[in-house]
Amino acid sequence: MLRKRIIPCLDVKEGDVVKGVQFEDLVVMGNPAAHAKFYNDEGADELVILDITASHERRKSIVSVIESVADVLFIPLTVGGGIRTAEDVRNLLIAGADRVSLNTAAIERPELISDGAERFGTQCIVVAIDARRRERGGWDVFTYGGRKNTGRDVIEWAKEAEQRGAGEILLTSMDRDGTKEGYDWECLHAVTSAISIPVIASGGAGELDHFADAFTKGGADAVLAASLFHTRTMAIRDLKQFLSTKGVPVR
């Protein structure tokens, strides 16, 4: 059985780490490189950096931030935000990223997934899906940092992303983001049951059991969290020890 991964996420705006609730009310939480070094030493399995306003403001990801983080990091780094072409993917990989996360551009130009997978390998391409629950059931895909409802169904888009060459899905529940009420494991389970590539759960972690539920109920291959780790409310080493007691194989 593949071991499960614990992944801190740095949401970055204008070069600073920020965190909000349901993608709003952002608060500055420090320097990306300082956080990255801490997580590297703390035992994180990977690190994700998302330039959360890059697509909305029509900016490219901050390459200098990625370079500063890569200098202190010895675990895999995934970077997302403002990626619109295969050349953008190449530039981020050169800057020090191991993988890139595609969200808005992948929806608007799905062939970017195929182009990236063909040029750089499926292992380099992560498709991020921001999901919000519909009143009538199911979940819609949002883009532009949660600002635009595409009307696309989350399950169908995850399937298409896999078919086009995505190596992994980063699934964020907008309803749970920053609430500390737990991952939306129902949405998570619906996606993991429909595709065969790994899925990272994101949005809503607030206590130890929430991480266990993402794995045991949702079928996640990895869990991602931000504020719990940034505020040092929870230590990654303690989380891994807890998951081991629950029978979840961790690295």
pLDDT digits (tens, 9 = 90+) for 68-114: 999 999 999 999 988 889 999 999 999 999 999 999 999 999 999 99
In the residue annotation, 11 being an active-site residue is answered as yes
Question: Going from the N-terminus, what domains does the chain have, and what CATH number goes with each?
Answer: 5-245 (3.20.20.70)
| pLDDT over threshold 90, residue 18 | no
Q: Which amino acid is at 126?
A: V
What mean pLDDT, rounded, does the chain reach? 92
Hey, is 85 helix, strand or coil?
A: coil
Question: Confidence class of residue 151 from pLDDT cuts 50, 70 and 90?
Answer: very high
Q: Terminus-to-terminus CA distance in the chain, angstroms?
A: 11
pLDDT digits (tens, 9 = 90+) for 181-227: 999 999 999 999 999 999 999 999 999 999 999 999 999 999 999 88
Catalytic hit among 11, 51, 184, 221: 11
Contacting residues for 140 by C-beta, under 8 A, at least 6 apart: 131, 132, 134, 149, 150, 151, 152, 153, 154
What percent of the chain is predicted at pLDDT more than 90?
Answer: 77
Yes or no: say if 52 and 145 are a contact pair by the CB < 8 Å rule. Answer: yes
In the residue annotation, 177 being an active-site residue is answered as no
Residue 114 CB neighbour total at 10 angstroms: 16
User: CA 160 → CA 99, 151, 185, 187, 221, distances in Å?
Assistant: 19, 15, 21, 17, 19
| pLDDT over threshold 90, residue 138 | yes
Q: Say which residue the tokens 């505020």 belong to.
A: 231
Residue 54 is predicted with a pLDDT of 65
Yes or no: say if 181 and 28 are a contact pair by the CB < 8 Å rule. Answer: no
Residue 215 is predicted with a pLDDT of 98
Residue 214 CA, distance from chain mean position: 14
Q: Which amino acid is at 11?
A: D
Catalytic hit among 115, 130, 184, 213: 130
Residue 20 is predicted with a pLDDT of 62
Question: Confidence class of residue 63 from pLDDT cuts 50, 70 and 90?
Answer: confident
Residue 4 is predicted with a pLDDT of 98
Yes or no: say if 75 and 45 are a contact pair by the CB < 8 Å rule. Answer: yes
* Greater pLDDT, 74 or 63: 74
Q: Of the ranges 9-23, 43-57, 103-117, 129-143, which one carries the lowest mean pLDDT score?
A: 9-23
Q: CA 88 to CA 103: how far, in whole Å? A: 13
* Greater pLDDT, 26 or 135: 135
| pLDDT over threshold 60, residue 152 | yes
